[in-house]
Amino acid sequence: MELEQALFKTPFENLNRNFRRSQKGVEKEISNVLKELNDIENRGNSLSKREAFDQLDQLSNKLKSLKRKLDEYKSDEDVQLQRFKARIDHLNRFGDVNFKEIDEARSKEWHKIRMDRILIDYLLRNEYYDTAELLAKESNISELVDIDVFKNAQKISDNLNQRECKEALKWCSENRSKLRKNNVSKKLLFHVSFDIFFQSNLEFSLRMQEFIELVRDDKSMEAIQHAQTHFTPLLSTNLDEIQTAMSALAFNQDTKDQRFSHLFGFQKWDDLVLQFRKEYYQLFGISDVCLLDLNLQSGLSTLKTHFCQEGNTNLDCPVCAPKLVKTLAEEIPPALHVHSKLICRITGKLMDDENPPLVMPNGNAYSRQAMQEMANTSEGRVIDPETGEEFQFSDLKRLYIC
């Protein structure tokens, strides 16, 4: 379930956001309606018949506008609730303890759907939106993936890449209460998690970048006004950064002073994109690491041993062989195996009491089945596939596993 948190956290956050948005919208419209009613009441008999009709028309239009907005909020809410239902049904099918025994075809179908979800997550993170939408449509799992969430993140990231903060600041404003104190699941390695609380620094970073751009454009007075408006409330928490930024007013983007030159670097925009995506994903319960990597690491964790290292690799071991997989397994600790299990390099089968390992005079061991088949086809001779050395089958000794 650790890997499936976003499956429910994302629609929940969408519902929460929709509720906050509808609450603000309804309160605003009701306030306008009450204002109109109070105005009509206060003016009383001084209103002409024509003026009364005009104000009633305005009031009617505002009530119609409120109804349209309520319908929109209700429609959005229904979409998210339907996603919740589809995802609960999806997991419930897996929750049946006899699921595989009852219907193996349905079991394969469930795992196929999960694999498609993992692939769509990978495609979305790498900006292959059309491909992701096509796969979701063909697999009929649009309600199990959150394409719109990733698209919205890309829209804001694109705005930042154009060196504008407008969309990101708008998102911060809409989610300010959440960003002030957001409960985030931090992962230790990939499967053990613990919860901490953090206060987002994204809005401050965006305001800081706006300030630096004003300084870069030699708009010192506008930069000072910007600082007075947005930095003053944050002096108690971000004093050092603010002091450094204000000192940048005495320099320009060509300064060689390393204390200030980094502030004018365009790399700051790339850093903002990364910071935004990180906090955006955290808000929706989406892992920083794609689901494909997490699931691969989960499987590799059961296979990695102390022997999976440079100079002592096994071509048949997924942890040792491919470069990509090896990179994923680098930070995973070796699995604890109480009992040894030996796999024959030739047949790939487990070596046990019924198919025991036979050790050659040079120390390499292979299964009896592999050695017997080789000896039967070469007049009692066996060849070590690793070194090329040749021995008689009678020279092999049984190896006992502890």
pLDDT band at 96 (very low <50, low <70, confident <90, very high): low
Please give the pLDDT value at position 188: 40
pLDDT of residue 248: 80
Q: What percent of the chain has pLDDT over 70?
A: 87
Task: For residue 392, give the nearest of 374, 380, 379, 377 by alpha carbon.
Answer: 380
- pLDDT class for 97, splitting at 50, 70, 90? very low
For residue 365, the cross-strand partners are 359
- Count Cβ neighbours within 10 Å for each residue of 146-168 and write b for 16 or more, e otherwise: beebbeebbebbebbeeeebebb
The SS3 assignment for 284 reads: coil
Name the nearest CA neighbour of 201 among 270, 288, 278. Answer: 278
SS3 392: strand
Instruction: Look at 19-33, 125-139, 272-286, 354-368 and tell me which has the smallest mean pLDDT.
Output: 19-33
- Look-up: residue for tokens 């940048």? 248
Mean pLDDT, residues 297-304 taken together: 83
Quick one: tokens of 125? 């993170």
pLDDT of amino acid 193 = 41
Percent of the chain with pLDDT over 90: 33
pTM given for the model: 0.72
Q: What is the pLDDT of residues 311-365, one digit of tens each?
A: 566 666 777 766 766 678 777 888 777 776 788 888 888 888 889 999 999 999 9
pLDDT at 83 over 80: yes
Instruction: Give the count of alpha carbons within 13 A of 70, CB side only.
Output: 11
3-state SS class at 354: coil
Distance CA 192, CA 94 (A): 22
Segment 85-93 mean pLDDT: 86
Q: pLDDT by residue (tens digit) across 16-75?
A: 888 888 888 888 888 888 887 887 777 766 777 787 788 788 888 888 888 888 888 888
pLDDT, averaged across the chain: 83
Instruction: Tell me the two tokens of residue 222.
Output: 């506008």
CA–CA gap between residue 166 and residue 159 (Å, rounded): 8
Taking Cα atoms as reference points, which of 91, 36, 28 lies closest to residue 60?
36
Radius of gyration in angstroms for the set of CA atoms belonging to the chain, rounded to a whole number: 32
Look up residue 88 and give its amino acid: I
Q: Which pLDDT tens digit goes with each residue over 161-212?
A: 999 999 999 999 888 888 876 544 444 444 434 343 446 789 999 999 999 9
pLDDT band at 160 (very low <50, low <70, confident <90, very high): very high
CB distance 276 to 156 below 8 Å: yes
Residue 101 has pLDDT above 60, yes or no: no
Report the C-alpha gap between 50 and 193 in whole angstroms. 67
First to last CA, the chain: 35
